[in-house]
Chains A and B, each alone.
Chain A
């Protein structure tokens, strides 16, 4: 499917999942309705469609082309199949998805994988804020699955995260892993301040620099390497645990080499 003209107002992309499209003919798909702003529009007004549909969602590979920056909730609640997005995409990609794969060949806006419980999201560009968080008030972020972002991510990655893995190839902004309750976050680049704030469980690995460590984390040991989903990651790492104020048992693995300014904490090693 190719978006005809980038829409001026936001388009709801919930309908764009293999679960919704499977078993429908191209014509039926073109006649499906969604919202552009407050207008009900047919997909045919927004997209051109080529190829063929599949009867089973898991056999369906949906390819979206064009500037989708104002299309939000693409792949919401999908359970199977694959979506490839060639271009930049809007907010809430993979909202509450439970299975299948979404690949974004471009940048993704905020709230990638909000409330997801399974499946894979791959962003081959940058991603916005609150990747892998949860709907407001639920106190529960991503529970399972994998999110991979090649580039940088915004603030509050993994907010309230409970399970699954987030891998960031670039840098992460402030509050990485805030209120995290489980799962793993791996950041290959640098992170902003307040790393792991108020986390109670889970693991965060940072290969780049960390501006400071919150006073509610204690240094535990120095480890030569660690693992993320079975992959060995070479250290050495400072290992901190916390957040003490939450009685937390979360672990921060922070590159020793890139963070010599934290050397003074070694004095507290038992």
Chain B
């Protein structure tokens, strides 16, 4: 039995890199980790695995050769006038780079799942900036940690113990840290917080506004705001003002409810305001393990982090129009390639309806719901288990994921498959 140390978990945006994985006969037999999602990932990744390229014939998915599948995807993309290349958050930066190159070559729109997680956060950043830090800064210094509209106990199970509220750092012990949760529900994280503030759905913006008023010593002409008594808001304002290093982690509770980018606008400007009082930083809790990487790669290659339209031969960014849900709901695209994501499970019904009404190809290690609906399915390796690759943690720290076991025979990585498609696309374009 082989023991591999310091293994990165390709689970969530925390990208914990201290897991121990035990391998016997090219199989993962045991994982030392404190995280249920991580354990499930390493031990179950091989279940419900499709190892054959599939193609839809008479309504049924039938096995085919890799060559045939690549040919079909390439043709689909070359014939399309406005293909959408969507996904990218559960794969390596190496594959994402190939994706950008392919999107540029076929004149399509490339969008990643940011569009339905922290897209609004990016729009907020583009208006106001991003006073942030790496997670180690929180570990070393934070004496106030706020989780707003996020539930790390459920979505980032080790976040608190490894990076934020429950870890000992150079200048802080866990006992010296205060934890505040603001959410519409009493989440598992909220149950252990020093202060839980239950905000009415869709009224986070009002609550942040009230906080800003109190920080500026302005009077509020209300008894309660967003369902929260003004005294309780004052209590939170005082905690924020008086801490030495405050950290605001926020999640989809802010980006998905009414206000979206404006909620983030408010949260960022709140943190800017707080820096007049003390040191304060803000960070989105990114979900998929390499969605941050997708933003980074797209940004340095195209200038824009998501929703990039190459139809005119150069990158254009018009979120609200070139974002995946808008492209699909307006019926713009005439073909879709989905890589490392499952839009059928994640996007609203009407968007999925259009997705399934046009040619659809999927590259994914899993038999996802989208693969179940696709015309062509190409199985790929699991990055971080069967394949090396770069990934970016939620705070922008890049790390190299390891290869732990060999993939099933004949299965290529996302990057390799995309490269084959790209080559074939170039040949087909030349021939036209």
A: which residues have CB within 8 A of B? 8-10, 12, 35-39, 69-70, 72, 90-92, 109-111, 129-130, 136-137, 139, 156, 174-175, 178-179, 193-194, 197-198, 212, 214-216, 218-219, 243-245, 265, 268
Contacts and interface: CB of A to CB of B under 8 A. Distances in A.
Contact of B81 (A38, A174, A243): A38
A37 B262 contact: no
A2 B108 CA distance: 27
Contacts of A109: 330
Main SS at interface, chain B: loop
B311 A37 contact: yes
Given A9-B333, A175-B259, A218-B221, A137 B126 contact: yes
Given A38-B106, A38-B311, A111-B320, A215 B82 contact: no
A212 B220 CA distance: 14
B126 to A, nearest CB: 4
Contact of B206 (A12, A35, A215): A215
A91 B320 CA distance: 9
Contacts of A69: 330
Contacts of B81: 8-9, 36-39
Contact of B312 (A12, A129, A175): A12
Nearest to A14: B312
Given A37-B311, A130-B320, A215 B209 contact: yes
Contacts of A70: 330-332
Interface in B207-266: 209-210, 212-213, 216, 218, 220-222, 225, 258-259, 262, 265-266
Contact of B321 (A111, A179, A218, A243): A111
Interface of A is mostly: loop
Given A9-B334, A194-B262, A245-B212, 7 more contacts: A37-B81, A37-B82, A37-B107, A70-B330, A92-B321, A179-B127, A215-B222
Nearest to B333: A9
Given A130-B320, A214-B209, A174 B258 contact: yes
8 contacts: A9-B332, A38-B312, A70-B332, A92-B321, A110-B320, A198-B266, A244-B218, A245-B213
Interface string B295-333: 000000000000000111100011111000000001111
B360 to A, nearest CB: 16
B206 A136 contact: no
B420 interface: no
A212 B224 CA distance: 13
Contacts of A243: 209
A12 B81 CA distance: 13
Given A194-B262, A245-B216, A92 B318 contact: yes
Contacts of B312: 12, 35, 38
B80 interface: yes
A92 B107 CA distance: 21
Contacts of B225: 215
A261 B321 CA distance: 37
B216 A194 contact: no
Interface residues of B, number: 42
A178 B82 contact: no
Contacts of B321: 72, 91-92, 110-111
What 3 A-B pairs have minimum CB-CB distances, sorted nearest first?
Answer: A38-B107, A37-B81, A37-B82
B47 to A, nearest CB: 39
A197 B220 contact: no
B425 to A, nearest CB: 12
Nearest to B330: A70
Q: Could you say which of A69, A136, A197, A265 has the most chain B C-beta atoms within 10 Å of its C-beta?
A: A136
B140 interface: no
Nearest to A41: B81
Counting chain B CB atoms within 10 Å of each CB, the highest count among A72, A179, A215 belongs to: A215
Contacts of A265: 221
B344 interface: no
B202 interface: yes
Interface of B: 80-82, 106-108, 123, 126-127, 202, 205-206, 209-210, 212-213, 216, 218, 220-222, 225, 258-259, 262, 265-266, 269, 310-313, 317-321, 330-334
B320 A194 contact: no
Contacts of B123: 136
B127 A37 contact: no
A12 B82 CA distance: 12
Nearest to A178: B262
A194 B259 contact: yes
Given A175-B259, A175-B262, A197 B205 contact: yes
Nearest to A212: B206
A72 B320 CA distance: 13
Contacts of B80: 37
B292 to A, nearest CB: 20
B202 A193 contact: yes
B216 A136 contact: no
Contacts of A179: 127, 265
A179 B250 CA distance: 22
Contacts of A9: 81-82, 332-334
B359 to A, nearest CB: 12
B259 A10 contact: no
A77 to B, nearest CB: 15
A170 to B, nearest CB: 20
A48 B221 CA distance: 60
Contacts of B216: 244-245
B320 A197 contact: no
A197 B127 contact: no
